Amino acid sequence: MRKTSFIRLAVAATAVAVLASTTLPAQAAVKPSTSASIGDDCLPGVIGKKSGTAVKRGVDGSDLTCMVVPTGSYKGETKWWYKDVKPLSKIDWTVPANPGGYSLTSNAISDTLKAEGLLGEYTSTFKPGAGGSVGLGAFQEIKGKPEAALVTGIAMTGGLYSNKSPLNLLDSMPIAKVLREYDAIVVPADSKYRTLNQLMDELKNKPNAVAIAGGSKGGIDHQVIGLLAQTAGIDPTKLNYVVFSGGPEVITSVLSGSTQVGISGSSEFNAFVASGKLRVLGVSSAKPLAGFKGKTFKQQGYDLVYGNWRGIMAPADLSKADYSNFIKVIDIMHISPSWKEQLKKNNWDNEFAAGTAFKAFLEKHIPEINKVMKGLGI
C-alpha cells in the first residue's frame, strides 16, 4: 500500500491523529496538595488548614480546596475541589450544523452537567451551512449573553478554510476541548462492498464511480476520506463526495440509495449498525471501537489514524469571573462518572484541555489543519 510523506507529516503534525486514549484521573488514592488534581481524594483532617489548599493545581492555575463535595456524583465525599464554583443556570447552545454529531456533543455535555448538579437548563439553536461559518458568524454577533456557548470542532476549523471564510474561531473565547471521536465508513447491509479494500480498489480504477455521503465541505468526514484516498494512491479531488449538514442526513441518503457509501462519526451509526441496516467497512481509530462492528483502517492495510475533536467556545465579551467559573464547571464535568458514561456510550476518548491550554491548542491546530486542507486540494 503506497504511503505518501505528506500523509505521515500531516497526521503527525496536526495532532488530530490520536494513537492512545486518555484516561480519567484516579479517584482512589489520597493526594497531597502538591500533586492534587480536581476530583482526587484528600484527607478530612486538612480542611480549614493551609495544607488544605492545593495552590495553582486547578485549571488555568486556580487553587483547589480539600472540601466535602456539595453536589453531584461525589456529594458528601472529601475531594480536591473548587470552593468558589457556581452551577450554571442556563446554556444557550449555538450548533453550527443540523442535528447530529455537534448536537450529540452539546447534549451530552449539558446532560452530564445537569446530572452533576452543575446546570439548570439548556437550549439549542441550529445554524447549519458553509462548513460551520454560518453558525460561527451568528455566534460571534451575540453580545452580553454569558449563558451563550458554541459547540465546535475540527469540522469547523477545516470548513472555515475550505469556504474561504474571513471569520476567526479565536475571536471567540476558548473554554475547553472535551473529547475525540473517530469516523466510520458504512454501506447498506445489501451493498456489494463487503470490505474496505473492495471499495478502495474500485475507487482506484474510477475515483468518481461511487457517491460518498459525508458532512460539510472541508469537515472531518471530508478530511478522513480524502486522507484515506491519498494513502491508497487515489487523487482525493476526483472523489464524488456529496455534502450533507449532519449524520442523520448521511444515513438517510445511504439507506435510500441516493448515495452508495456514508462517512460520519461512529456514534451516528451505532443504532443502524446494531440493527443490521448498515455494515461498517472501516473506522479511523487506532484500535477497534468497543461494541462497534468494524475493523480499523490500519487493520486493513491503510496507515491512517485520524480523529475529530470537539469543544466549547464562549462569547468574546464573557467576563473574567464568568470565564473562570465556566472552565471550572467543565473541569469538574470531565472527571465525573456521568461524563465517563457518555464517553463509553458514544465511543469517545476523554481528550481534555481547558482555558489557556485549549487556546494554545487552537493556535497550533488552525494553521496545521489549513496545511492538511491545502494538501487535499479542498
The side-by-side arrangement of strands in the sheet containing 78-81 is 53-54, 64-68, 78-81
pLDDT bucket at 22, cuts 50 / 70 / 90: very low
Q: Does residue 27 lie within any of the structural domains? A: no
Least confident of 24-28, 226-230, 252-256: 24-28
Is the pLDDT score of 370 beyond 80?
A: yes
Q: Is 178 helix (H, G, I), strand (E, B) or coil?
A: strand
Q: What is the pLDDT of residues 86-101, one digit of tens each?
A: 999 999 999 999 998 8
Mean pLDDT, rounded, for 174-180: 97
Q: Does residue 230 lie within any of the structural domains? A: yes
**How are beta strands 211-214 and 148-153 bridged, if at all?**
unpaired
Q: What is the pLDDT of residues 103-135, one digit of tens each?
A: 999 999 999 999 999 999 999 999 999 989 999
The percent of residues in the chain predicted with pLDDT above 70, rounded, is 93
- Number of structural domains in the chain: 1
Q: Does residue 273 lie within any of the structural domains? A: yes
Q: What is the pLDDT of residues 302-314, one digit of tens each?
A: 999 999 999 999 9
Confidence at residue 28, expressed as pLDDT on a 0 to 100 scale:
53
Q: Does residue 192 lie within any of the structural domains? A: yes
| Mean pLDDT across the chain | 91
Is the pLDDT score of 15 beyond 90?
A: no
Cβ neighbours of residue 162 closer than 8 Å, sequence gap 6 or more: 131, 217, 218, 222, 373, 378
For residue 293, the enclosing domain spans 5-12+183-300
The three cell numbers of residue 151 are 459547540
Query: Distance between CA 27 and CA 53 in Å, rounded?
Result: 18
The three cell numbers of residue 119 are 446546570
The percent of residues in the chain predicted with pLDDT above 90, rounded, is 84
Query: Distance between CA 302 and CA 228 in Å, rounded?
Result: 7
Q: What is the pLDDT of residues 328-347, one digit of tens each?
A: 999 999 999 999 999 999 99
Q: Does residue 228 lie within any of the structural domains? A: yes
Specify the higher pLDDT residue, 11 or 294: 294
| Domain containing residue 227: CATH number | 3.40.190.10
Q: Does residue 150 lie within any of the structural domains? A: no
Mean pLDDT, rounded, for 166-172: 97
Q: Does residue 191 lie within any of the structural domains? A: yes
Report the predicted TM-score, pTM, of the whole model to 2 decimal places. 0.85
The burial of 320, by beta-carbon neighbours within 10 Å (0-12 exposed, 13-18 middle, 19 or more buried), is given as exposed
Q: Does residue 281 lie within any of the structural domains? A: yes
Q: What is the pLDDT of residues 226-246, one digit of tens each?
A: 999 999 999 999 999 999 978
